[in-house]
Amino acid sequence: MFDPQYYPFASRRNLVYAHRGMVASSHPLATQAGLQILHEGGNAVDAALAMAAALPVVDPANNGVGGDCFAIVSFRGEALAGLNSSGFSPALLTRERVLAACPGAKEMPKRGWLPVTVPGAPAGWAALHERYATKSLQELFAPAIELCRGYALSPDNAPILNTCTDLFAHAQDPVLRRWAEGFNPEGRTFRAGDRFAWPDMGQTLRRLAESHCRDLYEGDLAARIDAYSRESGGLLRGEDLAAYAPRWVAPVHTSFRGCEVWELPPNGQGMTALLALNLLEALPLAGAGEVDKLHMMMEAMKLAFADALHYIADPAYMRVSPEDLLSKEYARARAACITDRARVYAPGEPLRGDTVYFCAADGEGNSISMIQSLYEGFGSGVLVPGTGICLQNRGACFSLAEGHANVVAPRKYPYHTIIPGFLTRDGKPLGPFGIMGGYMQPQAHMQVLVHLLDEGHNPQAALDAPRFCWTDGLRFDMEPSFPHAVVDALRRRGHEIRVLSGGQYGRGQMILRAGESWAGATEPRADGSVIGF
């Protein structure tokens, strides 16, 4: 029998062109759900919502009903609109409670009830639907509900189901063991091509469609979450769910190589990519050799993270404004820190004053950049019995350092990693882009945009290009497709490099205007697909 994960030869994907509409996601079945809605007369947001409901079914480790979502929407020539549908921490969650449960801890736990935050994704779906959609949620969720009856597991998904089953089945926390009992009661070893059905999730999606997603916040699903939390030692309560509402926000941007690059403002980390692009603009990137260019990009990314991890938090707790951080003058001052040697950087002083990405566009020129996540594989590992809802562990991104802007606190939004991106030129929409992957996301945004806008590659080539991933200190992972001589030269400059295949380098999609048509590209590192008509 052949190995569905063995690909010994280089392959190539071509750009996809279409003029009536286009959809792209990290799973072909979710992409088909979006295309179906476009064929039935839906707009770009309708198609995105169909994919948003289907992705938790076909890629359940990376996103779900119990997670969050963010979006940037270009609609009917209006100004770009941003949606932040990330959840806040429970009212009962305090730093003291965490330290009492985890004596001596230096960082938030990643599994169990403590890192659970309110699920924001369903409320975000409802907000997008109310503002832009043309079809009912019952129509938009129908493809996802049908998939719950059974679909074939992909080569990417089967291994992570096995990994999480083994991890949670042998965990000390009984709540995690109950995940294994509920999600995989027979202890199956999943293989690519196996049929997987999920009736509990199908019923949950029906409840959400019928209630315009309110059931999760004030109905039967909310009651089940509250009851299970109380029974098993959680802090999340029905009052937290009922108090939640998503937030419409104004995207922030910077200019780079003749385009405007748009991200969402904090609590998301999208500004990290903008900070890095500002630094690159202040450096002699154009015309630099491959080693010099990579070195500047790697140092710019570390500098950007030094500021982002220090300053970005719930906006109510931030000590500097996004405008201060994105100042071109500040970027020039920070860029002066970069030499020809690798360094570790401290935060500057600004001037005062596991995830899925998907996108859609339609024949009317509307488009949407959207991303949703549980954070790590199946999030917290807390599976609400009988619902298929696995709650996210986004609270793991809080700090435990007393006095830090991002320190854990009640009803607070944590530093958030998921970031949808959008491009315009002279204020006119070009289209959506995004790359999932935790802290890799702004790194991938920066690298893909350098290939696209600085080097002039097409969207597919920009996604295909090899990537690096900063981990911490001077340490980077780099894909094996980088030339050995380049890796050796970077090591001589002080970078500590591990050449690693299959690492966390992100998985992305992009749909951009190309004359009267749309040009779409999808990630070669995943099961992604882009389809147009």
What is d(CA 176, CA 110) in angstroms, rounded to the nearest whole number?
12
List of residues 6+ apart from 179 with CB closer than 8 A: 164, 168, 378, 381, 382, 383, 390
Burial class (CB in 10 A: 0-12, 13-18, 19+), 455: middle
Coil/strand/helix, residue 469: strand
218: enclosing H helix or E strand? helix 215-218
Cβ–Cβ under 8 Å, residues 384 and 225? yes
What SS3 state is found at 271?
helix
Whether 355 sits among the annotated catalytic residues: the reply is yes
The residue count for the chain: 533
**Spatial CA neighbour of 258 closest among 64, 5, 452:** 452
Helix (H, G, I), strand (E, B) or coil at 252: strand
Torsion from C-alpha of 326, 327, 330, 332, nearest 10 degrees: 100
3-state DSSP assignment of residue 19: coil
Report in angstroms the alpha-carbon separations of 390 from 126, 380, 492.
Answer: 19, 7, 45
Q: Of these residues, 117, 355, 387, 522, which one is catalytic?
A: 355
Q: Which residues are catalytic?
A: 355
